[in-house]
Every structure is written in C-alpha cells, then in structure tokens.
Amino acid sequence: MGWTTTHIPDQSGRTALVTGASAGIGFETARVLAAHGAHVVLACRDTERGSSAAERIDGSTEVVPLDLASLTSVRQAAGLVRGRHRRLDLLVNNAGVMFPSYRRTKDGFEAHLGVNHLGHFALTGLLLDLMTSVPGSRVVTVASLAHRVGFGRLDEAAARSSTGRRSMAAYGRSKLANLMFARELQRRLAVAGAATVSVAAHPGLSPTALWHGDPPALARPLAAAGMRWLAQPVEAAALPSLRAAVDPAVHGGAYLGPSERFGGRGAPEPARSSRAARSGAERGRLWTLSEELTGVRYVCEPAVLETPASAAETASAPAVAVCPVTGARA
C-alpha cells in the first residue's frame, strides 16, 4: 500500500496557509491538515465560499481574502496574515486557473502566468520570513503534468500576452513556472541555511472545478477521455500535496505526483519533470523576471520587519518584508 493520510503525523501547534482552499484539491488539503491538528488559513478569492468551506472543516480554521489576479490583493492578504501570525509552518501554493474567462490579470499579466505563478511568487516572498526560522517549515507549490507542454519562452512578452486565455501551451508555461520556482526557491533556501524547504507536487488528473473553464474545442474530447481513463477522486488527487507538506522523508527540491497511468492517478511518489524544469539558467532568468514584474524582490540580509499592531495597520502599510535569511521586499 502506498502513502495515505494514515501516514500523516500529528500537526498540532502548526499553522498552514492553503491558497484556493474553498473547493477541490485545496479544500481537501485544508480539511485533512485541520483534521490532524493544524490551524489552517484558507486563502480564497471568494470569502463567502471560503467561510462555507471552513464551516465544513472539523478543526481550527480562518479565512483570508486573496485574489491572485491582483498584486494589491496579494499584498493585503500577506499583511493580514502577518498581523495575525508570527510564524507559519506550511504554505501550500495550490490555487490556479485554466482557460479563465478573462485574458489578463488586474496588473496586465497573461491570466495563467499571472495567477498561477506571479501571484504565488509574490505571496511566498511576502510571507517567507514567517517561516525561515521555523523547524520543519515547508513551501509546497502545486504544478501539473501540463508543465511538459509549456512551450515558448518564459519572458516579459509571454507574461503580458493577451492571447493565452484558451491556450494549453500558456497554461503549461504557467505550471512549468511553478515547478521552476519551487526548485529555484529550494536552491536559495539551502544556500541561505534556512530551516524552510521548498517542495513541488502535482495532483495527476481529477475532475475538479479547474476544468470548468472555456477550453479549446479540440481539447474537450481529449479531456473527457482522459478523465474517464486516468482521473482519480479529489481525495486521492490531494495526496501528493499532503505528502509534500508533512512527510519528513520528503526532502527539499523533491517533486511528487501519482505513480500510475502516466502520472494520472495512484499513490504519491517521486515524479519526473521535463528537461526545461531542471535548467538552472532558465530558473534564474524566470526568478529575475518575476521579481521585476511583481515588484517583490527576495533578499538575504540581517533585518527583521516588525509585525504591525493591528490588521488595519497591516492592510494600509507598504508591502515590505525582509527576513534574516531570505525574504522579500516590495
């Protein structure tokens, strides 16, 4: 038998933030973490849905508004979390869009890359100093099998394109960026000697709301066939993220995914990635571009940001976060 939720150690005393936690894999990840004792912050675009999700979770939760399509919202969410918590044990970058109804984010970025990668890049940087001195802390970034079809260069032109809304290649590029970010973050954390590690995971295939967008006509029958043959329930699809978050045997830089049917389903095990995801030079270029586009610059210097006295002060304060090991300045 492979890894299941029965292998999850007690999470009491730990605080986890899960993006996109109102439904699907994010909800299941939050539910299981809370069931094992963690206090879970549900970071959701729709706070009503987030509150409804929290009511269905047996455990300690709270809801924070987060729209990854808006860097202003990302900064406000990070400020709220900083105002309420002095440490963070787990950050699960789970939320994402595929074939969304809009072409660009509120900041003018191509929708897939803006939400799936740039929003999470900024959020992680603005929260990272709550984690870097916490033993066993982890950043888990959810990628996808689709990272293999992320054709085209990850550059500013792609980031500001208005033609990717119904493009599998654009979605794939955003998931390739997720995986490259996770690995480059791990490299930087290791060099800095941080207690935090960065791990990536992919869920395989699961019939979640992510598939309810507006895919190209040619992709619809392929998706339907794939769902019938390869897909697994949401409860199983969340296992790679959960294992990446809590299994002490999983080390920084790992990439986990389902082990059967070409990675579509099965117990979570180490997964293979594309050659592009392993390119150190490309990861470095993407990192620099992401800092420029988001205005969030990861730094390493001996300084600490004082936690504001209230959430109201946090929301109005400049989005600046500097930590002793590695953090971000925006």
Residue identified by tokens 């400020």 is 79
Collapse the DSSP code of 74 into the 3-class scheme (helix H, G, I; strand E, B; otherwise coil) and give the result: helix
Q: Which of 102, 171, 255, 298 is catalytic?
A: 171
Residues 6+ apart with CB under 8 A from 228: none
- Give the separation between CA 33 and CA 18, rounded to whole angstroms: 10
- Give the separation between CA 44 and CA 26, rounded to whole angstroms: 10
Cross-strand pairs, 321: 328
User: At residue 184, what is the residue type?
Assistant: E
Residue identified by tokens 């049917």 is 261
171 is catalytic: yes
H/E element holding 229? helix 219-230
Nearest C-alpha neighbor of 300 from the set 181, 122, 128, 175: 128
Q: In this structure, what token pair is assigned to residue 230?
A: 């390869």
Cross-strand pairs, 245: none
Cross-strand pairs, 256: 201, 270
Question: Could you tell me where the beta strands, DSSP code E, fall in 119-219?
Answer: 138-142, 197-201
Catalytic residues: 171
